[in-house]
Structure 1
Amino acid sequence: MAKLSETNQYLAAFTVNIITLGVGASIGWSSQTLPILIKTSNESPLKVPLTKNEASWVECNLAVGAIFGTFLFGYLSERIGRFWTAFMTALPQIFWWICVIVGKSFTILLIGRFFAGLSAGGVFVLVPLYISEISKDSLRGILGCFFMFAINLGTVLMFLAVEYLNYSIVPKIFISIPFIFTLTFMFLPETPQYLLKRGEIKKAENSLRFLRGCQNFNEVPEKVKKELLVISKEIEEETLVKNVSIIDKLRTLVARKSLIIGLVLVSVNQLSGCLVFMNYKADIFINVGLKFSPEFFAIIISIIQVIGSVVSTFVVGSMTRKLLYISTCFGAISGFLAWGFCLNLFDKRTIFPWLSISALSLAIFMASAGFLPLTFVLLSEILPQKIRSIGMTLCMALFWTLSFILHKIFINLVAFAQFYISLLIFCGFIFLGMMFIVVYVPETRNKSGDEIEEALR
C-alpha cells in the first residue's frame, strides 16, 4: 500500500499564506504610520502633512478597494482557477508598496491604499477557498487557522518595523513579500475540485496525489481514488445546476441556510470590534495613564494576537468548532466587560491602569484563539461546493463593507458614547453570535461536505 503524508498540505497552506502575511502588514501599516504622516511639515515624510480627515480616508480606502477586490477575484476564481487568481493577488500588493515608496502626497497614498484593498479582498476570498479545497477533512481546521495567524503576524511585523526603522525603509522591505509569494507559490498545483470542474481528470488526480503526499507516482493509492470519487460526485452535482441562475441556486434550503450562517459569522467577526482595535490600538492607549508609549502597547497587543492565533492551530483539531467558538466568545465578552469596567473606574482615578491592559489582553487573546480565525474555517466548511465561490464572495463583500463603516464611525462612536458604552455594544454583538452558533450552526469538525449538507437540511 502506498504511503501517504500530510507534509505537502502543510507546505501548500504555509506558502499560500505568504501573501496573507503581506495583507496583514498592509492592514497594520495605517495604525502606526498615519500618526507620523499627520505631524508638522518638519517631521512628516510627506511634502504636506495629512489632515485627520485625509488620514481617515487613507485608512478606510483599503476597505473600499477590498470590496472591489472581493468581486473581481471572486469572479476570476471561477474563470481562470483558484491557483492563477491567488497568484494575481500579488500584483496590486506590489503596486501598493510602490505607491508608499514613491508617494509624497495624499492622492498617491489614497490610490495605493485602494490597491492594497484590491489585494486584501482577493486574499480573503481565495486563501480560505484554496486551503479548504486542498485539505483533507481532518486538517481543514488546523490549516484554515494559518490564515488569521498570517494576518496577525504581518501586523506585528509592521508595527515593529515602523517603531524601529525609518519610514522610507519599511515599504522597501515589505514589497519583497509578494515577490517571495510568487516565486514559491508557482510550484504548487491547482485545486483538484477546480480541475475536475474543468474536466481535467488526470491533472486533478496528480494534484490530489501531490497534496496527499503519495511518494509512488506510478501507483494511485486507494484512499486517493476514493477521495477523487467523492470530489467528482460533488462536482457532478454542481454541473447539474451549472446553467441555473445564482438566485435559483441560493433558493435551495442548504444554500440559503449556509449563506445566512456565513453572513452572520462575518458580521459578528467585524461587529465584535476586535478588528477595528487592530487599527486604533495606538489611539486607544493614549489615555490609559501608563508611562509607556501607546505604540509600545499596540505592539504588545499584536503579539498577544499572534500567540492566540498559534494556540488556535493547536486546539482547533481537538475541540469541536462550536465549543471553541462559544468558549472564546464568552472569554472575549468577559475581557471586554472587565476592560470597560476598569476604564470607567480609571476615569475616576480609583483603579490601577494595568488592570485595564490585562483585561484587554484577555479579550484579544480569546478572540484570536477562537472565533476570529474560526469564522474563516467555518465559512469554507459550511458553504456547499456549488455555491462556495459566490458564497465566499458575498460574505467577504459584507465583511469589508462593515469594516469600512466601522472604521469611519469608530472614533465618532467613542466620542458620542463613552468608550465603555461602545464596548458594551460590541459585547452585545459577540453574545448574539454565540447564541446563533448554539442554536443554528451544525458541527463541522472532521465531517465531509455531504455530511455537513445533510446536517443543514
Structure 2
Amino acid sequence: MAKGHTYVQWIVAIVLETTVMSYGLTAGWISPMKLVLQSEESPVGRPVTDMEMTWVASILPLAAVTGVLLFVYVADRYGRKSGVLVMAISQACCWTIKLSTANVPCLIIARIFAGIPAGGCLQLMPIYVKEISQDNIRGMLVSMIILMQNIGVFTMYAIGAYCNYASVLYFGLTISLISIAALIKVPESPSFLVKMEKYEEAEKTLALLRGLDVNDKIIQDELSYLKNNDTQAKDLPDVTIFTIFKNKSSRSGLFVILMIISVQATNGSYGIFTYASSVISAAGVTLNPHLQTLSIPIVMIVGSFVSISCVERIGRKVILASAFALSTLGLIGLGCALTMQHLGQPLSNWIPAVSIVITVGCYAAGILPMPYVIMAEMFSFNIRAKVSGCICCYAWFVTFLQLLVFIPISSLVGMHNTMFCFSAINLLGVLVALVVVPETKGKSVEQIEEMLELR
C-alpha cells in the first residue's frame, strides 16, 4: 500500500503473540528446573527420578495434540480471538497449579494445561496473524511468532538460573495475566467477521488495521475480496479430510507440508534446547554454566530476527534449505565433539559450543518458522484451519515421541550417535526443501494452487 500505516497490525500481532511468549516460558522451564527438581532441596520433597522428569517434559507436546483439535473447533465456531483468550487462560492455570502444590502428578497436570494452548500457538496463531496482515508484511508478522517464543525461552533460562522456584512461577503467572488483559482489546479477524456476515464490523476492523478510512477504495476492495472468498467457501460442500484429498492442489500442498513437518519435528533441535543442560554437560563444555545455557535462547532470538528480516527478501524456500544445510553441519560437529568426549579425548570448548549455536540458530531462523509461514500461505480460507489442525496434531505428536525417547536412546546408543542420526535427518530436509517445496513469497493463494496443480 502507498498510503495508510502498518503499526496497528504490528501492535495487534505483538499482543496476540504474548501467548506464544508464555509458551516459550513453559517450554524453557524444564532446562533450569530439572536441576532443582532432581536435587535434594527439590520442592517435591525428594529428588524427581529421570523417568518422572521425562514424562513431565514430554507430556506438553502430547497435550498439544489435544489442544490443536480444540482450537480448530473454537477458531471456526467462536472466532480467532476467543481461541487466543482460551490459550492465555489455560496458561495462567498452568502456573497457578504449580504454585498451589509441588508433586509429580500436579506437575504433569500443570504441563497438560501448558500443552493445550501450545497446540494453538503454531496452529491458530499463524492463521490469525495472517488474516490481520497485509501481504507485504505478512511473512514478517508470522515469523515473529517464533521470535516471541524464543524471547520466552531466553527469559525463562535467565530467571531460572538466578531466581528461586516460586519466583519463577509468579513471573510466569504475571505474564499470563497481562496477556489476558491485553487480548480483550484486540480486534477479531476480518476474515472471520465476514464469515459471520458482520460486514460493517469487518470494514471498520480493516480500516483500523490499515490506517485508512472505511470508504477508502483499498478497504472496499479488500472487503469485497473477503466476501467473494467467503461466498465461494459457502458454496462448496462441507470440507473434510476426504474432500481435501480429492482436490489436487490441496492434496499436493498437504503432502508438501507433511514432508517438511516430518523432518522439522524430528531434526533434534527441540530436544537439544529442552535438555540443554544435559547436552552441554555431555559435550564437555567447561565455560560458565549459566552463560552456556543462556547462549542457546540468545542465538535463537538472533535467528528469529534473521528470519523476520530476510523472509520477504530471500524467500521461504532458500531460507529453509539453507537452515537445514547449516544445521546438518552443526550436528555433525556436535556429534564429533561428543564422540571425542566419549573416547576420553575432549576437543576444545569452542567446537561443541559453536556446533550447538549453529544448530539452534538455524532452527529458530528457518527450520521452525518457515513451514508454518508456508502453510499459512498455501491453503485457501475454507480449508486453512482444518489442514493446519491436522498438520499441527501430527507435528506435536512426533515432537512428543522425540522428547520421550531422547534420553533413553541417548543412553542406549550414546549422545554422539544420536546427534549423527539427527544430522542425517537434517540432510534429508535439505533435499525436501530444494526438490519438493514451492516458493510462496509474494504469491496469492490462487497462484500457489496453480503451482501445486502442476506437481
Confirm or deny a common fold (TM above 0.5): yes
Task: Find the counterpart in structure 2 of residue 412 from structure 1.
Answer: 408
Task: Find the counterpart in structure 2 of residue 315 from structure 1.
Answer: 310
- Change in Cα spacing, 1:430 to 1:384, as seen in structure 2 (3 Å) is farther
Q: Contact (CA 8 Å) 1:269, 1:371: kept in 2 or not?
A: yes
Local SS of the residue matching 2:408: helix
User: TM-score under structure 1 normalisation?
Assistant: 0.95
Q: Percent identity?
A: 27
State the one-letter code of the partner of 2:436.
Answer: Y
Task: Find the counterpart in structure 2 of residue 96 from structure 1.
Answer: 94
Q: Contact (CA 8 Å) 1:342, 1:353: kept in 2 or not?
A: no
Alignment of 1:353 with 2:343, yes or no, is no
Say what the alpha-carbon RMSD is for the aligned residues: 1.8
Task: Find the counterpart in structure 1 of residue 211 from structure 2.
Answer: 213
The whole-number CA distance in structure 1 between the counterparts of 2:12 and 2:170 is 26
- Change in Cα spacing, 1:11 to 1:50, as seen in structure 2 (3 Å) is same
Q: Contact (CA 8 Å) 2:92, 2:173: kept in 1 or not?
A: yes
The whole-number CA distance in structure 2 between the counterparts of 1:200 and 1:454 is 31
State the one-letter code of the partner of 1:13.
Answer: A
* Matching residue within 359, 362, 365 for 2:358: 362
State the one-letter code of the partner of 1:428.
Answer: A
Residue 294 of structure 1: how far off its partner (Å)? 4.3
Task: Find the counterpart in structure 2 of residue 222 from structure 1.
Answer: 217
Q: Contact (CA 8 Å) 1:71, 1:393: kept in 2 or not?
A: yes
State the one-letter code of the partner of 1:193.
Answer: S
Q: 1:92-125 CA deviation, whole Å, 9 max, x = no partner?
A: 1111001111122111111111111112112222
Task: Find the counterpart in structure 1 of residue 434 from structure 2.
Answer: 438
Local SS of the residue matching 2:165: coil
- Change in Cα spacing, 1:352 to 1:49, as seen in structure 2 (3 Å) is closer
Residue 332 of structure 1: how far off its partner (Å)? 1.3
Alignment of 1:401 with 2:388, yes or no, is no
Q: 1:257-316 CA deviation, whole Å, 9 max, x = no partner?
A: 122222222222211111111111100111333333545312111211111111211111
State the one-letter code of the partner of 1:136.
Answer: Q
Task: Find the counterpart in structure 2 of residue 194 from structure 1.
Answer: 192
Instruction: Map 1:136-155 onto structure 2 (within 5 A).
Output: 136-155=134-153
Q: Contact (CA 8 Å) 2:283, 2:334: kept in 1 or not?
A: no
User: TM-score under structure 2 normalisation?
Assistant: 0.95
The whole-number CA distance in structure 2 between the counterparts of 1:24 and 1:251 is 38
State the one-letter code of the partner of 1:448.
Answer: S
The whole-number CA distance in structure 1 between the counterparts of 2:181 and 2:187 is 14
Residue 348 of structure 1: how far off its partner (Å)? 4.2
Alignment of 1:278 with 2:276, yes or no, is no
- Change in Cα spacing, 1:294 to 1:407, as seen in structure 2 (3 Å) is farther
Task: Find the counterpart in structure 2 of residue 381 from structure 1.
Answer: 377
Q: Contact (CA 8 Å) 2:321, 2:430: kept in 1 or not?
A: yes
Residue 2 of structure 1: how far off its partner (Å)? 9.6
Task: Find the counterpart in structure 1 of residue 262 from structure 2.
Answer: 267
State the one-letter code of the partner of 2:29.
Answer: W
Task: Find the counterpart in structure 2 of residue 332 from structure 1.
Answer: 327
Task: Find the counterpart in structure 1 of residue 368 from structure 2.
Answer: 372
For these two proteins, the number of residue pairs brought into alignment is 452
Residue 74 of structure 1: how far off its partner (Å)? 1.2
- Change in Cα spacing, 1:367 to 1:64, as seen in structure 2 (3 Å) is closer
Q: 1:230-276 CA deviation, whole Å, 9 max, x = no partner?
A: 22222222112243544223321122112222222222221111111
Residue 30 of structure 1: how far off its partner (Å)? 1.2
Task: Find the counterpart in structure 2 of residue 174 from structure 1.
Answer: 172
State the one-letter code of the partner of 2:324.
Answer: C
State the one-letter code of the partner of 1:91.
Answer: I
Residue 390 of structure 1: how far off its partner (Å)? 0.8
Task: Find the counterpart in structure 2 of residue 118 from structure 1.
Answer: 116
Q: Contact (CA 8 Å) 1:209, 1:224: kept in 2 or not?
A: yes
Q: Contact (CA 8 Å) 1:413, 1:422: kept in 2 or not?
A: yes
State the one-letter code of the partner of 2:223.
Answer: L
The whole-number CA distance in structure 2 between the counterparts of 1:33 and 1:256 is 43
**Range that drifts further, 317-326 or 335-344:** 335-344
Q: 1:206-232 CA deviation, whole Å, 9 max, x = no partner?
A: 111111121x3xx42222222222222
Local SS of the residue matching 1:182: helix
Q: Contact (CA 8 Å) 2:438, 2:451: kept in 1 or not?
A: yes
